[in-house]
């Protein structure tokens, strides 16, 4: 069963390949110790969903929240300071994000998500986000 649950993650595995000279014939198959390292830029490392797609979807969810003025929504917006929401509204937005991305955000993490950027960072780096 563990192998089945790992299958969706396999599409994110990157293997570095080096060509052998034409006359070289390996006597056996061997893996370099680095074959299992994911070599990404700092911005992409640890991301499972495309960050720009996540940003667009998070902004859409926040703009559709009835207490938010859509003209004030931007990637740097803070829920309480910039959008004028209270803590209950922030909880409702996190719940809407859970529904949008198809996974549950633990309460201890949800309490930390108080801006669009924090929501994007958390969701883009979460392996269960869809």
Catalytic residue among 86, 107, 111, 121: 86
Active site residue 86: yes
What is the C-alpha separation between 65 and 84, in angstroms, rounded? 12
What is the enclosing helix (H) or strand (E) of 61? helix 51-63
What is the C-alpha separation between 63 and 53, in angstroms, rounded? 15
Neighbouring C-beta atoms of residue 95, cutoff 10 Å: 13
Active-site residue list: 86
């Amino acid at each position: 069963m563990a192998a089945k649950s790992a299958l969706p993650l396999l599409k994110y595995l990157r293997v570095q390949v080096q060509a052998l000279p034409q006359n070289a014939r390996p006597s056996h198959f061997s893996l370099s110790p680095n074959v299992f390292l994911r070599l990404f830029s700092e911005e992409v490392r640890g991301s499972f969903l495309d960050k720009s797609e996540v940003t667009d979807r998070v902004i859409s969810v926040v703009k559709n929240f009835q207490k938010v003025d859509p003209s004030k929504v931007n990637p740097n917006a803070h829920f309480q300071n910039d959008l004028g929401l209270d803590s209950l509204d922030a909880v409702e937005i996190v719940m809407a994000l859970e529904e949008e991305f198809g996974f549950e955000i633990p309460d201890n993490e949800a309490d930390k998500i108080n801006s669009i950027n924090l929501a994007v960072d958390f969701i883009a780096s979460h392996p269960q986000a869809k």
